[in-house]
Homo-oligomer: A and B are copies of this chain.
Amino acid sequence: MVKVMRSSPARTSVTLADVAALAKVSTSTASLAYRRTGSITERTRARILAAAAEIGYAGPNPTARSLKSGRSGIVGIIVAGTVRRAFQNPVAMATMSGLSEALDELDVGQLLLSHRSESGDRSARLLDGMPVDAVVFLTRGEEFDGLLPSMRARHIPMVGVEGPHEEGVTLVDIDDASGMAVLARHVRDLGHTRIGVVMRSTRIDANGPPGPIEPIDANLETISNRTIRERLRAVASVFPDAVRVEAGGRELDSGEIAAGRLLDQASPPTAILAQNDMLAVGTLRAAAVRGLEVPRDLTVTGFDGAHIPLLGRRLTTVEQPLHERGLQAGRMVGELLAGGAPSGIVLPVVFREGDTSGPPPRA
């Protein structure tokens, strides 16, 4: 039996046909032994399973099965940037946790994919090559839009968490605008008039210096991320004269530097609305470094409710139902897979007054 060794796999796998042959039944009958539908004698089934065990057959090949059925049992979860970075982001993780809870329930596999627009081609091809029954875009911005056409062509249902409205994407949204408006009104009711906003970086990966100080509503339409844009707009609706500065990155340090830029002005704001809790913590640091006491000298607010451990303070912020929105997204995937057409939802946020906001210092 001299046989040329095949250079690659040599993976002579056992197939259902082999099992059938050994059990002396047709492959269709052998298949029956593994399905729940169709009728088969308990005796033959036992014989088939015994044969399978004998030659080490581990059950039907999932790929072949998917090909016939048109379903893979896999849901793609697409995060921005890298999977690694998503694992370090508390907001993403809290959402994931809810999403996973719901998907676990559905008995589907969860395929994690990352996408960044720069290396768009590569990750788009990766997604295109994956046998997914549905996809969830996690905290989506516009960077995912390049992926939509091919998903639509394949009739793959899509669920988006945050992000722009796009045909075919069922959206689980958070009522950002009114959340931010509530915060702004809270600050206004306290008596503040000079307001600064530390806004989230519009860059995805880069880390750099903060942007310039600009009017709150400068070139709003050029900001492609809807979430960022709407939060700014909400502030503008309450404080048309507020100014903003964009953080250079997503870390705490970037928030501190950006806030510092606002505080070092000749006539600094008496309240700083940060666009998320991480930036707010950075802002608190910037204040501490400059000897400002919060809230006596400066009011600081956040946005998120990501439960960042906070040295004994309670941040005045707006809490997003992060886990809940993940759950809802998972539930929608379930409905879509079942052939339904769920409508998108907008989840409310909850204002939570902490001890970082108070009346402005007397002039």
Is the pair B93, A58 in contact by a Cβ cutoff of 8 Å?
Answer: no
Contact of A84 among B8, B65, B101 (CB under 8 A): B101
Q: Known contacts being A129-B65, A131-B62, is A82 close to B109, with CB within 8 Å?
A: no
Is the pair A100, B72 in contact by a Cβ cutoff of 8 Å?
Answer: no
CB of A211 closer than 8 Å to a CB of B: no
Contact of A128 among B62, B104, B153 (CB under 8 A): B62
Which residue on chain B has the smallest CB distance to residue A96?
B87
- Return the CB mask of A102-123 against B: 1 if under 8 Å, else 0: 0110010111111000000010
CB of A363 closer than 8 Å to a CB of B: no
CB of A57 closer than 8 Å to a CB of B: yes
Tell me the complex Cα distance, A83–B88, Å.
16
Is the pair B63, A66 in contact by a Cβ cutoff of 8 Å?
Answer: yes
CB of A268 closer than 8 Å to a CB of B: no
Interface residues of A in 3-21 (CB under 8 A from B): 8-9, 11, 13-14
CB of A43 closer than 8 Å to a CB of B: no
Which residue on chain B has the smallest CB distance to residue A149?
B58
Which residue on chain B has the smallest CB distance to residue A92?
B87
Is the pair A131, B66 in contact by a Cβ cutoff of 8 Å?
Answer: yes
CB of A146 closer than 8 Å to a CB of B: no
Q: Known contacts being A154-B13, A155-B13, is A100 close to B128, with CB within 8 Å?
A: no
Q: Copies of this chain, how many? A: 2
- Return the CB mask of A129-169 against B: 1 if under 8 Å, else 0: 11100000000000000000110011100000000000000
Q: What residues of chain B lie closer than 8 Å to A57, measured between beta carbons?
A: 153
Is the pair B130, A62 in contact by a Cβ cutoff of 8 Å?
Answer: yes
Q: Known contacts being A58-B154, A150-B59, is A131 close to B83, with CB within 8 Å?
A: no
Is the pair A150, B58 in contact by a Cβ cutoff of 8 Å?
Answer: yes
* A62, A82, A88, A128 pick with most chain B CB within 10 angstroms: A62
Q: What residues of chain B lie closer than 8 Å to A153, measured between beta carbons?
A: 14, 56-58
- Return the CB mask of A277-309 against B: 1 if under 8 Å, else 0: 000000000000000000000000000000001
Q: What residues of chain B lie closer than 8 Å to A74, measured between beta carbons?
A: 74, 111, 130
Which residue on chain B has the smallest CB distance to residue A130?
B109
Tell me the complex Cα distance, A309–B153, Å.
47
CB of A191 closer than 8 Å to a CB of B: no
CB of A126 closer than 8 Å to a CB of B: yes
Q: Known contacts being A84-B104, A97-B84, is A11 close to B111, with CB within 8 Å?
A: no
Q: Known contacts being A112-B109, A154-B13, is A87 close to B82, with CB within 8 Å?
A: no
A73 CB → nearest B CB, Å:
6
Binding site for B on A (CB under 8 A): 8-9, 11, 13-14, 56-59, 61-67, 70, 72-74, 76, 82-84, 87-88, 93, 96-98, 100-101, 103-104, 107, 109-114, 122, 126, 128-131, 149-150, 153-155, 309, 339
A-B contacts, 11 of them at CB < 8 A, read: A9-B70, A14-B153, A57-B153, A62-B128, A62-B131, A63-B66, A66-B131, A73-B126, A73-B130, A82-B101, A110-B112
